[in-house]
Amino acid sequence: MIDTLRLTAEEAMGLLKSKEVSPRELWDAYRAAIEERDEELHCFLSLVDRPEGDGVPIALKDVIGTKGIETTAGSKILKGYVPVFDSTVAARVKQARLPVLGKTNLDEFAMGSSTENSGFGPTHNPWDLTRVPGGSGGGSAAAVAAGLAPWALGSDTGGSIKQPASLCGIVGLRPTYGTVSRHGIVALASSLDQVGPTTKTVRDCALLYRVIAGRDPLDSTTAEVPPVEIPEAEDLDGVRIGVPPELNEAEGIEPGVRENVERAIELCLELGAETVEVSLPRSVEYGVPCYYLIQPAEASSNLARYDGVRYGLRVGDGTYHDMVERTRDAGFGDEPKRRIMLGAYALSAGYYEAFYGQAQKVRTVIADEHRAAFEQVDVLVSPTSPTVAFPLGAKTQDPLAMYLSDLLTIPSNMAGLPGLSIPCGLSQGLPVGFQIIGPQFAENTLFRVGHALERALEFDYVPERLR
């Protein structure tokens, strides 16, 4: 009997290698878990019927283009779209012989922090079905937390891997910008989007990151990536940790979240790390405003391609212009419309300099502040999300409140930095995420710190109601 709730991807690999379990048995175990629990969770938008590959199965967020498998980005405008080519990430997953279980739910076009903006209904948090799993990659995070997939891939623009990992009590890595190819990924904001793993453990995370990372001739924004090291050490000797007050004492951080994060920092000290005082005076205060200019601006441009001509929905048969406008009005949900409008406004004549131009300069300030901090420390730490998982519907009527869910993940994302979220405890019976940020290309440092802390924390990632 395979306990998919507890089994890590690394352990699954071991079972396959020792032939204790056949690839088919492993696949069937996850399919059985999906049958049993996905009706109430709604992690998957589509399922693959037959395994392709004899490795550990994987789930992919539905922005990852998969040849022959419907890819919707959670939007009705792409309903029925079946890519005719694989994204580079999907090709690498295939090359590693990892069979794809299915495509996971998300906020439409990855715009959101709760998965409630999905065009196909929300995903529920496995720890408490009345609460959100976070977003946009709530489907991938909830699937891993609920044992429906041993590991999964997501994409992160403002926090879409880290924040759902935090709310679902698992591990999520947003890699350095440029380390993972975006060829064949549905684009949200191209100067920010990054694909990364969602897993139960930090070692699983490093193993999956090794599969997907690396330069890709089909994506000119990719860079050379240092060899990935699977973490072993269980101490933090010599590691300098920065605890910026702006990220740790920000308004809106729940007391229970703060307590758990403080305890994790104390544990880091016991493991041999030292803390250094650093600050990010403007990055946090101006991060969200800066992000909500740059991201919608880029999104409004990227989403111009959905015009009813080459793929996806088409509505209306009057003139070409009528058809395009009606298709977009019928196909996009409220949040994409809001962001397209905001972005088009910020880029329009007369407002460009004051909004988009100014935001790009703020971005320089944010990158410089982080660079200065990393002259003194190896990593920065903070809560991943200011709150634990919130109830479904709590923020759907207030877009600004929803945007603040990413208050603590956005600043480092603006600077193109990698960030790892690991669970560090429970508050009100719900998981709290611990964010570890590093300089560009310092994934190995994040894995080292995350692994040692994970061992010391002994957090049980199986949701209490499923134990």
Active site (catalytic) residues: 61, 136, 160
User: What six digits make up the tokens of 268?
Assistant: 């880091």
The answer to whether residue 224 forms part of the interface with another protein (CB under 8 A) is no
Structural contact between residues 379 and 132, judged by C-beta atoms closer than 8 angstroms: no
Q: Centre a 10 Å sphere on the Cβ of residue 283 and count the other Cβ atoms it contains.
A: 26
Which of residues 46, 221, 275, 279 is near another protein by CB under 8 A? 221
Q: Centre a 10 Å sphere on the Cβ of residue 23 and count the other Cβ atoms it contains.
A: 18
Which of residues 275, 276, 345, 394 is near another protein by CB under 8 A? 345
The answer to whether residue 300 forms part of the interface with another protein (CB under 8 A) is yes
Stretch that binds another protein, among 31-39, 108-116, 301-309, 373-381 (CB under 8 A): 301-309
Residues 6 or more apart whose Cβ sits within 8 Å of residue 88: 181, 183, 184, 216, 218, 219
Which of residues 16, 323, 426, 457 is near another protein by CB under 8 A? 323
Which of residues 76, 240, 314, 455 is near another protein by CB under 8 A? 314
**DSSP string computed for 11-32:** HHHHHHHTTSS-HHHHHHHHHH
Which of residues 39, 251, 255, 319 is near another protein by CB under 8 A? 319
Query: Shortest Cβ distance from residue 113 to another protein (Å)?
Result: 15
Nearest Cα to 361, choosing from 295, 422, 416, 294? Answer: 294
Query: Shortest Cβ distance from residue 311 to another protein (Å)?
Result: 4
Structural contact between residues 427 and 260, judged by C-beta atoms closer than 8 angstroms: yes
Binding mask 182-211 for another protein (x = CB under 8 A): ---------xx-------------------
The answer to whether residue 217 forms part of the interface with another protein (CB under 8 A) is yes
Structural contact between residues 115 and 43, judged by C-beta atoms closer than 8 angstroms: no
Which of residues 292, 434, 447, 459 is near another protein by CB under 8 A? 292
Bridge-based pairing of strands 152-156 and 58-61 is parallel
Phi/psi for 365 (5° steps) reads -60, -45
The answer to whether residue 326 forms part of the interface with another protein (CB under 8 A) is yes
Residue 38 CA, chain-centre distance (Å), reads 20
Nearest Cα to 312, choosing from 101, 49, 109, 107? Answer: 109
Site residues for another protein, 372-401, by CB under 8 A, read: 399-400
Site residues for another protein, 346-375, by CB under 8 A, read: 346, 348, 354-355, 357-365, 367
Structural contact between residues 198 and 418, judged by C-beta atoms closer than 8 angstroms: no
Query: Shortest Cβ distance from residue 8 to another protein (Å)?
Result: 32
The answer to whether residue 214 forms part of the interface with another protein (CB under 8 A) is no
Stretch that binds another protein, among 7-15, 112-120, 225-233, 331-339 (CB under 8 A): 331-339
d(CA 56, CA 393): 35
User: What six digits make up the tokens of 161?
Assistant: 């891997």
Binding mask 141-180 for another protein (x = CB under 8 A): ------------------------------------xx--
Site residues for another protein, 411-430, by CB under 8 A, read: 414-416
